[in-house]
Amino acid sequence: MPVLALDSAGRLQSVALIARGRVLSHAARDDSLSHSETILGSVERVLSEARVPASELTAIAVTSGPGAFTGLRVGMATAKGLALSTGIPLAGISTLRALAEALATDAAAPVGTIVCGLMDAGRGQFYRGIFSVIRHREGRRVVAANGEESLRDPGLALAGLASGALIGGEGADRHRDLLLPQQPARAMFSARVPPLAPSLALIAEELEAAGDLAGWAVAPNYLREEASREPRVP
């Protein structure tokens, strides 16, 4: 059954609709300044292109962070509004987990590959998540966390990363020259910053099938102490 996913945690906004592991429709927009003005239009366009009314959705997923404070608020507020108006279950899923699955799938990474997702956290810092590819599922790479997500200074962005790791994300792309001297042996930088909504929707679909969707509350994970004191999404 159709699952809708929204991501506006970073500069690249994306929305995707999937059913039975297949992307029915998706949209991506590279402009963090307009997320609040465009995300609902992207949702409407994706549903319209797939000819799926919102009432037929079985789940909605949204990135819960880390990410830009305003972007997270916009995405979660939009997803909560949709869920409340339709009565459809809603799940918040780590931005870095969705990024790691997107990177691993793009690279056709084999099982056992370590994936390092890096997002630009501003102030010269990175949001970092380390994951391991644990299995394939119809072309998709499924990952599991390999340590806690963290906020990192530039000199520690790749600290402790295993040989042969896959590194990517908008933080890695934007600051590659800074990171290259730190890279572990045989590491590979992803050549593309992928939209996260398709991977996010696939994660949510699997959680729904396992009956685990209710355990993924929509609460922002800013990874910055001062951001966590800001008002939360109502």
Domains of the chain (ranges plus CATH)?
A: 3-94+195-228 (3.30.420.40), 96-189 (3.30.420.40)
Cβ neighbours, 10 Å, residue 137: 11
Per-residue pLDDT for 198 more than 90?
yes
Is the peptide bond between 231 and the residue preceding it cis, with omega within 30 degrees of 0?
A: no
What is the torsional sign of CA 221, 227, 229, 234? Answer: negative
What's the rounded mean pLDDT across residues 161-168? 96
Cα 22 → chain centroid: 18
Closest CA to 187 of 208, 172, 204, 199: 172
Euclidean distance between CA atoms 26 and 6, whole angstroms: 10
Please tell me which residue, 67 or 224, carries the higher pLDDT value.
67
Q: What is the pLDDT of residue 139?
A: 87
50-96 pLDDT per residue, tens? 999 999 999 999 999 999 999 999 999 999 999 999 999 999 999 99
Contact present, 67 and 98 (Cβ < 8 Å): no
Q: What is the pLDDT of residue 234?
A: 36
User: What is this structure's pTM?
Assistant: 0.93
Q: What is the pLDDT of residue 33?
A: 65
Q: What is the pLDDT of residue 32?
A: 61
Euclidean distance between CA atoms 2 and 193, whole angstroms: 25
Q: What is the pLDDT of residue 231?
A: 40
